Structure 1
């Protein structure tokens, strides 16, 4: 039963999307979703097989309702500082969500049923600190279906390799460019190779590479509007999808490589592309744009609930919309470059902006918990 007492019905569109090989993940989590059975309902009726979180999601959850009041009161009474309080609150929610998703994890032999939690983004440029946080999160949550989110900064690549080498499954986040995506793949494969060299069984290790979509159009569409030509306007809402489709081509090329086949023969799992930032920012675009245009086997699409319900309601799933589109995708990026666009500069700027937003979100979460602790102790 759903929280309003009605019986949820299965969505034909999400079932079709799932049957095409797209793993549907929810880009949201709250204690209320867990305790009311809402998350379990989404698993049952919307084909949700994973969850991603971030500090903004937790701050939003904490600011609504009374689900955290009891824990905040307990933490306040113990005199716990705000950083440790954030740790206790977020790891509890993620552990409980892992338990809700555990049947999916078992049913899919560990492919899905995963829940992601992010390392402190303030450490994004410090690979050693990031690595230590990843280890601590992994041991604290203590669930095999956990993913540790590590930003794909240039300095973060070594932390990704180190985590994989130690047997920690990783969600590599904040990827915008094809070049950085290729480096992330190399970091994952290197981590697998190091794990095998150390005698580790890698069959239970997993990873996704979170390739951001809508933010690319958000930045580039402004440029295209300023150019104003018919050719520029024809590219509106097209560059991000083209960029993501070419990322999938790189993924397929990796799976066909001798390096990957050697790892696969020793039990390794492929690192799946995950389409992130799939909520449409421009209201003029179809609200399912970054779902229906990015369908292919072996990918993940993590969606805010608004997008998920839009797909469930009116998503037009017509099969694989990526394979075979690579030449057209390259033509789209070539046209953008010919019009004066610099995709490398856009993606570099988006990464910097993304890191700043991550840190601002973390500060927001700290302040939300600080306020909660103050209210609980007064």
Structure 2
């Protein structure tokens, strides 16, 4: 009997879980989600690791923290050890998926420190350190799509490392991300690196766009403005897919693909619904197209499995309507460029806050272990 998650996968969408913890790994839950929910990958971020390691009801990290404390490790060294161990274990669980999909799926992402979001050279060094430590072909190193992150993406891809580009909000920045990826692929080719081994996804955030734009539409308050609430996030993502299709159909890019390069797949992130007025699977069912990834928090994954209605491609027939949404947003006075820059700045700040919370949590645990 078919399920909505199976239908979604059949429609060409890779389902990734936006969560990871040692308990999820050790309990067998991650394998269960692969077997029963068609999950083919995992994404992580500093907030996810803070929630996992800092969870007072989860003692699965206690033995490792005790050993690290006894060894004299500081908080940063302990975080590096704990998170890379989790990602290694998850990569091993997903290795059969990776093999079956020819390297397309079975991917597990780990992010460079958000403190490096505006440090190009620091990001490059950290990405290489994470890649070497995890030492799994099916890992992805997450790099934010900041201005400083763009040249880092090129350098890291050029070194043959697979990358998940995160925190993309605007079409303009997405175009720059594609440019950075392709520049990295050309650099890798010049260095005689096997292009087939390099994979990348571009994580385009969805629900956060609606949260910010809807706040602005509510402040404008006209009937025309209020009628646009809940429309920007999906329209923005659909136009991102249109750009993806256009750029990777370019003859010069097709030559790279013919030489073994992989397309950089669009990934829909921030797909948990924050507005109770919207259907709880709207950022799944309205963003279906081949060669996409949807990374879901578990609540959204379970809602999708339970009652989502998947009816094939819901993106490519919506380009005209998506362009119309943005024409209307401009006409009512929404400055979308300002909104997306604010979202990028807030996204980085939130991850930095989570990272610093994690540092404090781990430092306290290490002190307790040494007491």
Normalising by the smaller structure, the TM-score range is over 0.9
Question: Among 190, 196, 206, which residue is 2:199 paired with?
Answer: 206
User: Does 1:359 pair with 2:352?
Assistant: yes
Query: C-alpha distance in 1, partners of 2:303/2:82?
Result: 30
User: Does 1:21 pair with 2:21?
Assistant: no
User: Does 1:265 pair with 2:262?
Assistant: no
Q: How many residues align?
A: 369
TM-score (norm 2): 0.98
Shift in Å, 1:254: 1.3
Map of 1:114 onto structure 2: 107
Question: Among 193, 212, 228, which residue is 1:235 paired with?
Answer: 228
TM-score (norm 1): 0.96
Partner of 1:49, secondary structure, is strand
Shift in Å, 1:228: 2.2
Q: Which runs of 5+ in 1 are unaligned?
A: 1-9
Query: C-alpha distance in 2, partners of 1:373/1:149?
Result: 27
Query: C-alpha distance in 2, partners of 1:81/1:372?
Result: 10
Query: C-alpha distance in 2, partners of 1:374/1:161?
Result: 40
Map of 1:138 onto structure 2: 131
Shift in Å, 1:355: 1.0
CA deviations 1:119-148 (Å, max 9, x no partner) are 011111111110000000000000000000
Map of 2:80 onto structure 1: 87
Query: C-alpha distance in 2, partners of 1:370/1:296?
Result: 44
Query: C-alpha distance in 1, partners of 2:15/2:369?
Result: 37
User: Does 1:328 pair with 2:321?
Assistant: yes
Partner of 1:325, secondary structure, is helix
Query: C-alpha distance in 1, partners of 2:321/2:199?
Result: 31
Please tell me the root mean square deviation across aligned C-alpha atoms, in Å: 1.0
Query: C-alpha distance in 2, partners of 1:49/1:350?
Result: 28
Question: Among 316, 328, 333, which residue is 1:340 paired with?
Answer: 333
Shift in Å, 1:376: 2.6
Q: Is the 8 A contact 1:114 1:146 kept in 2?
A: yes
Q: Is the 8 A contact 2:112 2:141 kept in 1?
A: yes
Shift in Å, 1:277: 0.5
Q: How do 1:256-335 residues align onto structure 2 when only pairs under 5 Å count?
A: 256-335=249-328
Query: C-alpha distance in 1, partners of 2:230/2:106?
Result: 31
Shift in Å, 1:11: 6.7
Partner of 1:67, secondary structure, is coil
User: Does 1:59 pair with 2:50?
Assistant: yes
Map of 1:255 onto structure 2: 248
Q: How do 1:40-59 residues align onto structure 2 when only pairs under 5 Å count?
A: 40-59=31-50
Shift in Å, 1:60: 1.1
Map of 2:30 onto structure 1: 39
Partner of 2:310, secondary structure, is coil
Q: Which runs of 5+ in 2 are unaligned?
A: none
Stretches of 4+ moved more than 6 A in 1?
none
